[in-house]
Amino acid sequence: MEFVMKTRMFEEEGWIRKTCKVCGKPFWTLDPDRETCGDPPCDEYQFIGKPGIPKKYTLDEMREKFLSFFEKHEVYPHGRVKRYPVLPRWRDDVLLVGASIMDFQPWVISGEADPPANPLTISQPSIRFTDIDNVGITGRHFTIFEMMAHHAFNYPGKHIYWIDETVELAFEFFTKELKMKPEDITFKENPWAGGGNAGPAFEVLYKGLEVATLVFMQYKKAPANADPSQVVIIKGEKYVPMETKVVDTGYGLERLVWMSQGTPTAYDAVLGYVIEPLKRMAGVEKIDERILMENSRLAGMFDIEDMGDLRYLREQVAKRVGISVEELERLIRPYELIYAIADHTKALTFMLADGVVPSNVKAGYLARLLIRKSIRHLRELGLEVPLAEIVAMHIKELSPTFPEFKEMEDIILEMIELEEKKYAETLRRGSDLVKREIAKLKKKGANEIPLEKLITFYESHGLTPEIVKEIAEKEGVKVHIPDNFYSLVAKEAEKQVEEKEEEVVDFELVKDLPDTRTLYYEDPFMKEFDAKVLKVIEDWVVLDQTAFYPEGGGQPYDTGILVVDGEEVKVTNVQKVGKVILHKVERPELFKEGTIVHGRIDWERRIQHMRHHTGTHVLMGALVRVLGKHVWQAGSQLSTDWARLDITHYKRISDEEIKEIERLANRVVMENRRVRWEWLPRTEADEKYGFRLYQGGVVPGRIIRILNIEDWDVQACGGTHLPSTGLIGPIKILRTERIQDGVERIIFACGEAAVREWQKEREIIKRTSQILRVPPEKLPETAERFFNEWKEARKEVEKLRKELAKLLVYELESKVEKVGEIEFIGEIVEGSMDDLREAANKLRKENRVVVLVNKEGHFVVAVGDKLPYTAGEFAKLITSVAGGGGGGRKELAQGKIRDIEKAKEAIEKVKGSL
């Protein structure tokens, strides 16, 4: 579908719609002589060395200029909204925030939540890995950048503003605030599609650089049963109109700062505080700025997709500046490495401050990718500087604007230091791994490591392709690294597997039923209730109201009984489909629609679930206070006897930390803090409590249930809880374990379950005291003494065993028989399998066969090197006579016979076969 995007400003102020002579795309301009759209590769950068904005701006100045312009606009004042975390806790379909609109998807756009302001303005740090291989090379690509934006959500019956006003606001900001030349600005028409939405869009271009994109989101992906008359095709996909029309804009903060400074690259304009110290540390040769400028100008003409592109770029730049490609590579490579390190470490600072823990999965994998790529670049530069030192530079520079960085500094730096150590260990182990793979390839006659294997080395073993290449080339094997290698692996990590839980019954069967009244929320202590049967579906009964809790939020379902016509029927499972609750019963045929039944829940089971669920929230508050704000719930499960809580954490939890966590949690129990729950509109809850609400995962719905433990922990949670912490009873941590890289599991017990654990421990201590015949307080020193004595005794036994083995060999040497020219020793002896093996090895001679069997039936056969027999043959012969099994090498075999009575017969059989 082609959108012809006329606007009020274009018509009233004499803008001309033209077609670009290079790309063929339509664009709007005030310049009647312009023939190109202004977008690379149709136009080169025209601002490098001669800034396109009269005043030079820093990042902070430009951000404030933008936000205050929209916030204080006379006609359209926008609400200023703080940045969202780069880790999007409010959604589970993406790993990182890559654009400002993602802050408001899906809830605000779907209308399930109100926007924090409407219209609003924000500057959102955004992280994208799609261009990671271009970072440092093209002069303009970043993995982290700030997308400044103004958004308007036009709900049905509530119009804010649309295309005309958006274009006018952008033009006003650029020309009146930043004093850009109107005749150099072009609006290029380019429909946009992404994340399931689409709409017409303008790219705003100035002096060869895209400075903003204005998207008018008004379509969503068409369902299979969409009305054909509503369907539009955009970029080959089918879409249908949305009820809400969204103004989705994005202005490049870094690009505008670069435009105002005209530096050779965007990195020089915004990351100088890291770039300059790194240049000094690395002793980088100062090069003619013209080289960097020409490199950026030409790199702007295309993206680096593969080696061919990068080679071509080098050739073109070398030609322009009059040096060889080799000389250009030598001069420019250190700059590219430093630019990439500066960008990657800034992205890391945001990721780790916002709760990403480096690991092998999801966002943690992407953080590790940045860490290892940065370390590799430092190594190529010959720099020994710790990566944490560079991250500390970002924290120092950025914390006046982002104070959360200073708060998290110690944890961020410790995570980086630990990752560096892990990486060094990976490299030590990795060298052998690569050499083994090379040996396999050589056997097959191959002389190049394939791309799939490079990706496996990286994903499974953390070995960067550059390191694999270094090892491989020493072994005479080629490695071709595509220039977009890191984009490829990041793309794989960002693929999300959508797992849909199977519904217990088809939603269609319950969609016309009213919502089940949730008595367990109205009174969590309700043990019995009456209700009416609304429907029976196979083994499931639907009631108009229930006190039975359905499975969800990490809390198991309730069990109990339903009394129908005087008969008690067991309830074995309770589930929720939509807002209808279903009870699985043992005798569904007893239930009829309209019947009144009496429900009774298994209270002992439920109260333990409540203790463990409220206890989980208390424990979470303690974990964050002891371990740090990076700690995030990664899963939980409750039972009656124990509960588990999985958290993100970058190292094992120490014994001292466990003690402190347990102490804090029990102090909150003893303080008997109030536990409140309330239903709040999603946006109000987010603004009041922040995104730590979503510890248990994304919670759907316009209104969400908030559980608040007074001054301790606040979470969105649908479980049943106790009204005060004192009712939890004691909390005891049973153990912790690492379940995967970056995730720790805490197993704990609350209330009666904790008491039972203490009683179990007391019983173990009591029994141990009785066995060792000392009081409990003397157990540690007694156990240590006994252990040391046992170790000494074991050494003595080992010494004596060796003496006995010598005696055994001496004794057996005197029992050699001759069978023709062959010497033979065959005896049943005392000793372990180790003794037999040692004796047989010592007795073995070139012309001798030895068969030794112990009283348990273990046997060893030894055969001399000059004999035409194998020990394995004799092992088979022995077991053919006495049963059992065994085998081994030519010179030595071992096994065990089943019938010890036939041991002598088996030995004679071997002797007879010689």
Residue list, annotated binding site = 613, 617, 717, 721
Question: Are 112 and 152 spatial neighbours (Cβ–Cβ below 8 Å)?
Answer: no
- Return the DSSP state at 556: P
Tokens standing for 118?
């409407």
- How is residue 677 written in tokens? 């729950």
Tokens linked to 621: 């508050």
Distance CA 727, CA 710 (A): 15
Enumerate the H helices of 103-196 as residue ranges: 107-110, 163-172
Tokens for 788? 């040391």
Contact 454, 481 (CB under 8 A): yes
Q: What is the DSSP letter of 707?
A: E
- 690, 676 in Cβ contact below 8 A? no
- Tell me which DSSP letter residue 588 carries: G
Strand partners, 644: 637, 747
CA distance 88 to 110: 17
**Parallel, antiparallel, or unpaired for β 892-896 and 858-863?**
antiparallel
Work out the end-to-end distance of the chain between its first and last CA atoms, rounded to an integer number of angstroms. Answer: 92
Peptide bond before 106: cis, by omega within 30 degrees of 0? yes
Beta-carbon contacts of 601 under 8 Å, excluding residues fewer than 6 positions away, are: 527, 528, 547, 548, 558, 559, 560
Q: Are 543 and 516 in contact (CB under 8 A)?
A: yes
For 845, residues 6+ apart whose C-beta sits below 8 A from its C-beta are 823, 864
Cis peptide leading into 556, omega within 30 of 0? no
HSE value, Cβ hemisphere, 13 Å, CA-based, for 222: 16
693 vs 107: CA distance, rounded Å: 15
3-state helix, strand, coil in the chain (%, to 5): 45, 25, 35
Residue type, 377: H
- Residue tagged 């006579």 (tokens): 881
Residue numbers in the known binding site for Zn(2+) are: 613, 617, 717, 721
Q: CA 186, 187, 191, 194 torsion: positive or negative? A: positive
Cβ-proximal residues to 746 (8 Å cutoff; 6+ apart), any chain: 619, 623, 644, 645, 646, 647, 653, 733, 736
Q: Are 371 and 346 in contact (CB under 8 A)?
A: no
Q: Residue 354 has which token pair?
A: 């916002």
Q: Which two tokens stand for residue 495?
A: 């693929």
Helix axes 253-261, 59-71, angle to 10 degrees: 120
Measured from the Cβ of residue 135, the count of other Cβ atoms closer than 10 Å reads 26
Rg (CA), the chain: 37
Q: Are 718 and 552 contacting, i.e. CB atoms less than 8 angstroms apart?
A: yes
Contact predicate 176/221, CB 8 Å: no
Beta bridge partners of 779: none
The single residue listed with the structure tokens 């209270």 is 603
Backbone angles phi, psi at 482, to 5 degrees: -65, 145
Q: 674 in helix, strand or coil?
A: strand
Cα 540 from Cα 637, distance rounded (Å): 25
What is the rounded distance in angstroms from the CA atom of residue 727 to the CA atom of residue 649?
A: 29
- Say if residues 189 and 27 touch (Cβ distance below 8 Å): yes
Instruction: Say which residues have a Cβ less than 8 Å from residue 400's Cβ, sequence separation at least 6.
Output: none
